[in-house]
Amino acid sequence: MMRNKTMPEATRQLPGPATRAEMELLLLCARTRSSVELTRRIRAAARKEIDWVQFIRLVLRHDTVALTYRNLQRNCPDLVPSGVMEPLRERNEALAAESRLLADELVHVLGFLDSQGIPAVTYKGPALAVRLYGDLSLRGFGDLDIMVCEQDALRTRRLLLDRDYAPERVDTGDVSHLLGEHHEMLFYRMDGKVRLDLHWRFTNRSACLPGDPERFLQQLETISIAGTELQSLRLETYLLVLAMHAAKHQWVQLKLICDIAEILAVPDLNWAFVLREAGELGLKRVLGTGLLLAQDLLGALVPRKLAQNLKIDRRAKAFAAQARTRLCEEPGERWGLQGGITSQMEIRERFRDRAKIFLRYFLPKLRPSERDRWFLPLPNALSAAYYVVRPVRLVLQRIGRTGQLP
């Protein structure tokens, strides 16, 4: 789940020249690796006419507080007003303390589930911060993500309720329908300090991704969090999962692109595996968009094997261009939410995947309802005709001819 601290009502383009200066500094600071050249560029950017209030809003929105503070402190503390550095330092320390709390809770929850015979895998959050950034506090995260098998999801839900967690959505009666309709459940610890996302799939079912989640859990690796060894995804799998996650949110947060850039910088990964999986799953366009953004915005070097064998099409380039524009926009009411059916279809390069997404979205909408039976009563022998009646009724209602229908 994406964390956003600034949520204005309207979405509008930020002022031009100021935005370029602030975005330039933001992008230069959103990196873990330092160099003489990077220091020179950060200092040059900080000398420009920066609207520091606007800059801090960008940092908070894109959840890059830790990276930004570290790079400003290392490279140009003399160029940043004390009224900016001090609040940024305080915010960074508060987020670091929150990260440690969440990491400790993650260890306790996973240990508890394991004692109950439920295998669970952590991903994103503390796992990604430790594995990819080498420091729990360098990657912002506001919740914990835990993956369990679908057959264990409802039992895990009951166990979390017994551990003083409350579901975001309160359901009475049978909750088994949640498994087929969703891919995750959100919980809050009763003291309000921990938010936990329980997953049984990496993507929602409308994405029509075969083998989710088993395919991504076949090869795991061991990482250490808060002194405890835990299972998490290998980085090659992370690259695909994170690209899908970022595409779902339409690439609106820089942190999502930072993750891609950091993975690309890891040497000796199995890029042949990444290419094979992207091809078999129909995720080449998703992956290509992520690589373009990491390269263009953060200067990431795309490994030669990926660059030579991943053919990036025009739609991926168009998606990357749209994402670059969104990064400079004020967040509106739908900031960070999942893209609509059109964007979900366009981001997939194979026709068969787009067709599956289309049918999964529209077929349930064609299922007859009581309104259709009220609109045109038919005998039971002709009940199948309601599959024709329903689209006719919806079209008539859309153009206003049946506006008084219940």
The Cα–Cα gap between 205 and 140 comes to: 27
Average pLDDT over residues 296-309: 92
β-strand partners of 225: 228
Q: Nearest to residue 7, comparing CAs of 334, 252, 340?
A: 334
pLDDT class of 7 with cuts at 50, 70, 90? very low
Structure tokens at 58: 């960008």
> Is residue 9 scored above 60 in pLDDT?
no
What pTM did the predictor assign?
0.85
Q: Nearest to residue 127, comparing CAs of 261, 270, 290, 242?
A: 242
Is residue 334 within 8 Å of 20, Cβ to Cβ?
no
Q: What does the CA dihedral 281, 142, 320, 8 come to, rounded to 10 degrees? A: 140
Tell me which of 375 and 159 has the higher pLDDT. 159
Q: What is the pLDDT of residue 12?
A: 36
77-111 residue pLDDT tens? 999 999 999 999 999 999 999 999 999 999 999 99
Cis bond upstream, residue 213 (ω within 30):
yes
104-157 residue pLDDT tens? 999 999 999 999 999 999 999 999 999 999 999 999 899 999 999 999 999 999
Q: What is the pLDDT of residue 318?
A: 93
Percent of the chain with pLDDT over 90: 66
Q: What is the pLDDT of residue 18?
A: 41
Alpha carbon 94 to chain centroid, angstroms: 23
Structure tokens at 379: 């005998």
208-230 residue pLDDT tens? 888 999 999 998 999 999 999 99
Q: How far, in Å, are 3, 52, 322 from residue 260 at the CA level? A: 18, 27, 18
Burial of 323 (0-12, 13-18, 19+ CB in 10 A): buried
pLDDT class of 197 with cuts at 50, 70, 90? very high
Tell me which of 405 and 200 has the higher pLDDT. 200
The Cα–Cα gap between 41 and 33 comes to: 13
